[in-house]
Amino acid sequence: MKRVVLWIGAMLVCAGCGSGRQGDGMVQRLVGQKIVFSDSLLASAGLWMSDSLWSQAVAAVPKILVCVTAQECNVCQMHIPQWNIYMRELKRWQGEIPLIFVVAERPEQAIPAVRNGHCPATVLADPGSGFWEANNLPVHPVFNTFLLDGDNRIVLVGSPIGNAAMWKLYRSTIDSLRADNGRG
């Protein structure tokens, strides 16, 4: 089942970005990779979020990770209104799932945007882009949204924003992860 889900996810990402075989290789490289949140990155979150969001971000539960690069407008790239809708939908049907934004530049702009959009998300500041380097992540918007399992391993690659089939895959994969106590 896990391989089928990963294959479908890879096909959706590649179809959505038109990257073909290059995208297949990137997805295969990323799926299963453990994401490491450094102590300094996690400490940056304490400056702008509530204790409940902090505990969700570090909990051994499935979570959605959105990496916001320095190459694009932070607030534009975050798609806060759409994530807010998705997070409300998940909360209603599947319970809360942590949403984490790792922001490379200008986190001071991202924090008010998340708060003003009433989006239940954690924002981690990564001013030197050390998170990308430490986790060997591509700096490409197509490959910077991930569904992580409870061990912080990448299960799905690609953003569901504007892609109903990918959002359906996220929801079904979250169900599967929850049934398996957060592990893939």
**Dihedral angle over CA of 22, 62, 49, 117, nearest 10:** 70
Q: Quote the CA–CA distance of 117 and 94 in Å, as a whole number.
A: 22
- List b or e across 130-143, with b for residues whose CB sees 16 or more CB atoms inside 10 angstroms: ebbeebebeeebbb
Tell me how crowded residue 91 is: count the other CB atoms within 10 A of its CB.
12
CATH of the domain at 90: 3.40.30.10
Predicted confidence (pLDDT) per residue in 36-59, tens digit: 887 777 666 655 555 555 566 667
Residue 184 forms part of a structural domain:
no
How many domains in the chain?
1
**Res 169: pLDDT:** 96
Tell me how crowded residue 69 is: count the other CB atoms within 10 A of its CB.
20
Give the model's confidence band at 2: pLDDT under 50 very low, under 70 low, under 90 confident, else very high: low
Residue span of the structural domain in which 126 resides: 2-179
pTM for the full predicted model: 0.80
